[in-house]
Chain A
C-alpha cells in the first residue's frame, strides 16, 4: 500500500516507547523488513524518542509526539517523528569522539550518532512550530 501513511499521537514520555515500537513494527512487517533492519528501525525510533522526551519539552510538562510511517516499496520504510518542543536539529550535532580509552570515554552522547549510522536517509525541518525529523530504513541500500 504505497503512499498510504499511518499515524500515531502519544505523549512524549518513556512509557510511550513500547507502543511506538509496536506501531512502527506494523509497517515493518508490511514492508517485509528483515529481522536485522527491524531492530535498526527500533533503535532509530528509540534514539529519536529519547531526545524528544529529554530535550524537546520542559521536565514535568511533556507534550505530544506524532509518529507517521509509510511503506514506499517492499523492504523500505519511511518514518517521521514530529514534536512541538524547542527547535532542535539533530543533524547539526557534532560527531562524538570515538577514540578515547575507557577512563576518558564519556558514557553518553552516542544516540544521534547511532541514528545517523542506521538510517538510510535522514531529514530535519522546522515547520510552524514543529520539529519534523524523517528517516528511512531500507534493506535495499
Chain B
C-alpha cells in the first residue's frame, strides 16, 4: 500500500507534508510513511530499577500504532525472569483502548507468574481513561514510583 492519501481538501497549512504549502481543493496521491510520524505522536520507554523491581517509565502517547511497542518491552522483561513490573505513567499524555488492551494482557501474564503490574502517577486524560473504564480498580495503583516499589 504505497498511495495512502486519496483526496485532500485543506485550505490552511498542510500538516501532512509539514510544510507551508497550500493545497486548495486538490486531489493528491501521496505517500505517507511511518517515518513522517511527528515526534509528538511517538512513545519512548525507559527501563530502570528501584528496590530490586523493574520500573518502566513510559513517555509520550500510547495509541493503536505504538501500544505493541509497550507489550514487546514488557514481554522482554518477562522473558528475562521479571514477575512484577512498575509502570510509571506520569509522562504518558494519551492512551487509547489498544493501550488498555496491552495493560490488561501484560498484567494477566504477570499474575499467572505470581507477580503483578503496578501502575503509578496517572495524570490528565490517562487518569480519566483508567477511571472511566474502572481499570483503576483492576490494577494496584500508586501515586509515586517510590510507593509502588514498597511491599510485595
Q: Output the least CB separation between B111 and chain A (Å).
A: 6
Shortest Cβ distance from B11 into A: residue: A6
- For chain A, the count of residues having a C-beta within 8 Å of the partner chain is 44
**Stretch among B75-83, B99-107, B144-152 lining the A interface:** B99-107
User: Quick one: which of A11, A26, A36, A101 contacts B138, CB cutoff 8 A?
Assistant: A101
The yes or no answer to A75 lying at the interface (CB within 8 A) is no
A8-B9, A10-B4, A13-B1 known; A102+B138 contact, CB < 8 A: yes
Is B15 touching A102 in the complex (CB atoms < 8 A)?
no
Is B32 touching A7 in the complex (CB atoms < 8 A)?
no
Q: Which residues of A contact B12 (CB under 8 A)?
A: 26
Shortest Cβ distance from B94 into A: residue: A39
Shortest Cβ distance from B13 into A: residue: A26
Q: Output the least CB separation between B135 and chain A (Å).
A: 8
A11-B4, A43-B125, A103-B111 known; A110+B10 contact, CB < 8 A: no
A26-B12, A40-B125, A42-B94 known; A99+B4 contact, CB < 8 A: no
Shortest Cβ distance from B100 into A: residue: A110
Which residues, 1 to 26 on B, are CB-close (under 8 Å) to A? 1, 3-12, 15-16
Is A114 touching B97 in the complex (CB atoms < 8 A)?
yes
CA distance A78 to B107 in the complex (A): 37
Which residues, 48 to 69 on B, are CB-close (under 8 Å) to A? 63-65
A10-B5, A15-B4, A99-B134 known; A23+B15 contact, CB < 8 A: yes
CA distance A103 to B109 in the complex (A): 10
A36-B124, A103-B111, A107-B108 known; A14+B94 contact, CB < 8 A: no
Other A-B pairs beyond A8-B8, A98-B134, 6, CB < 8 Å: A8-B7, A10-B6, A11-B1, A13-B1, A36-B125, A46-B63
Q: List 27 A-B contacts (CB under 8 A).
A: A6-B11, A8-B7, A8-B10, A9-B8, A10-B4, A10-B5, A13-B4, A17-B63, A19-B16, A19-B32, A22-B15, A25-B15, A26-B12, A36-B124, A36-B128, A43-B94, A43-B129, A46-B98, A47-B97, A49-B64, A99-B134, A101-B138, A103-B108, A110-B97, A110-B100, A111-B98, A113-B97
